[in-house]
Amino acid sequence: MTASLLWFRQDLRLEDNPALDAALRRGAPIIPVYVWAPANEGGWAPGSAGRWWLHQSLESLAHRLERIGSRLIVRTAASALDAIEALVRETGADAVFWNRRYEPARVACDAAVEKALAKNGVAFERVDGALLFGPREIANKQGAPFQVFTPFWKACLDRLTLPPPSAPPRRIPAPKGWPSSVPIESLGLEPRIDWAKGIRAAWEPGEDDARKQLARFLDCMAAYLEDRDRPDRPGTSRLSPHLHFGEIGPRQIVYAVRERAALTAAPGTARGEEKFLAEVGWREFAHHLLFHFPHTPERPLREKFERFPWAKDRAPLGAWQKGMTGYPIVDAGMRELWHTGWMHNRVRMIVASFLTKDLLIPWQDGARWFWDTLVDADLANNTLGWQWAAGCGADAAPYFRIFNPTAQGVKFDPNGDYVRKWVPELARLGAAWLHDPGRAPDDVLRAAGVVLGTTYPAAIVDHRNARVRALEAFSAITR
């Protein structure tokens, strides 16, 4: 044995990292590597917010490796295959280890790397570190992929046994000499104009903060059932970007949640645990679907929606992106997204329903905007979420279930705290009018300093009329 290459991708952690554990068991010196090859992403290279996070996460990983006697070798290349082959030649490495990914372009990239390594007599091992179960491991009774969540997740739970997560190594055996590396700054991941101040204030990328977020969530898990749909409360785990970049793995989360629930037996904890683990299950389901239906980031799973008569006028898309629709809960969500790179999940459903059903703008336009602006932009989750909202995917909401944005705001932000935070021009409106300022009496608007169409936009569409139009559009593809 000469050396092992440890190829990092979206598994930027040292704790419970199956590829790292496998490389350590081999016993040879380890050369950790990250390859920036956006052309390998099949049109889905990280968006702007994701690139910002990736830069910080790589720096965090590099510092952690240095503290245990190792270092992160960073390369750029037209393809990951070019970089891996070059590193094998330069270092004489005779084995390569990595964690599998299941996005369509990643599957093709991995196949090319495996073929080249086998041809050159280089050993390799790819293991599962991103999911609880690989997409091929779970199938229905006919051996086909699931398209409904509940039986899928039941099949997962029936097989789910988890050992304790493996601890991060205290030392990683280093080679006698290190290959060249480019600075992380040279990847150009951070914006030239600093628009990321709000994201930087809201997040701390890296494995350390992932563990802190998990610990915080465990302390409030008993309230998860009640608080998870309330954007005005800190009731969610906020682990999604850490999960996406692999700063923490799903097995770590599931093990910690189950362990805490068993230890505390606090009232409501078990039900909160069950619901939260189902959210982890939806992530598994999203990757299951993407692997088996690789066309879905661009095209609907339900073929009849290929004929859907979307509106020709795309002008309202800009108002939606800027949070200027005249519907406060929608605008609050879109502004939270722009400022922090994240949006509460309930609000994601509201804004997605509004775009695809009130405005009849294709779900692909919304998915692309989320892809560029979310720090947790994940191809599988993004695709599942948007197709669910549009009614064209697996286990999707029925198309006739059209969220009323005003009613949703009243129900899930009853005191208006969320809207007031992100739509400050409405902050002085009372709760009775905050989610529907168009109905507020003139004297109430004047007292709150609100001039519709000037200080805050009038509604760009009437929801009642938009609902009728959406149902008519749906009926056109079901005749």
* Catalytic residue IDs: 279, 282, 310, 345, 363, 386
In the 3-class helix/strand/coil scheme, how is 24-75 assigned residue by residue?
HHHCCCEEEEEEECHHHHCCCCCCHHHHHHHHHHHHHHHHHHHHCCCCCEEE
**355 DSSP 8-state letter:** I
Residue closest to 357 by CA, chosen among 289, 394, 429, 405: 405
The sheet with strand 73-76 has its strands ordered as 73-76, 30-36, 4-8, 95-99, 123-127
Which H/E stretch holds residue 7? strand 4-8
Its sign, for the CA torsion 51, 53, 57, 60, is: positive
Q: What burial letters (b/e) apply to 269-290, b meaning 16+ CB within 10 Å? A: beebbeebbeebbbbbbbbbbb
CA dist 244 and 203 (Å) reads 14
CB of 20 closer than 8 Å to CB of 255: no
- Phi and psi at 21, nearest 5°, equal -60, -40
Tell me if 63 sits within 8 A of 198, measured CB to CB.
no
Q: Which two tokens stand for residue 450?
A: 């609100």
What's the token pair of residue 344? 């509460």
Distances (CA, A) of 419 to 334, 443, 450: 11, 21, 14
Q: What are phi and psi of 408, to 5 degrees?
A: -65, -40
Q: One-letter amino acid identity for 279? A: E
Nearest 5 degrees, angle CA 47-CA 51-CA 56? 155
Rounded Cα gap, residues 404 and 349, in angstroms: 11
Residues 6+ apart with CB under 8 A from 186: 76
Q: How far is CA 331 from the centre of its chain?
A: 21
Spatial separation of the C-alpha atoms in residues 137 and 344, rounded to whole Å: 31
For the chain, the farthest-separated pair of C-alpha atoms sits apart, in whole angstroms, at 81
85, exposed or middle or buried, with CB in 10 Å at 0-12, 13-18, 19+? middle
User: Are the C-beta atoms of residues 300 and 387 closer than 8 Å to each other?
Assistant: yes
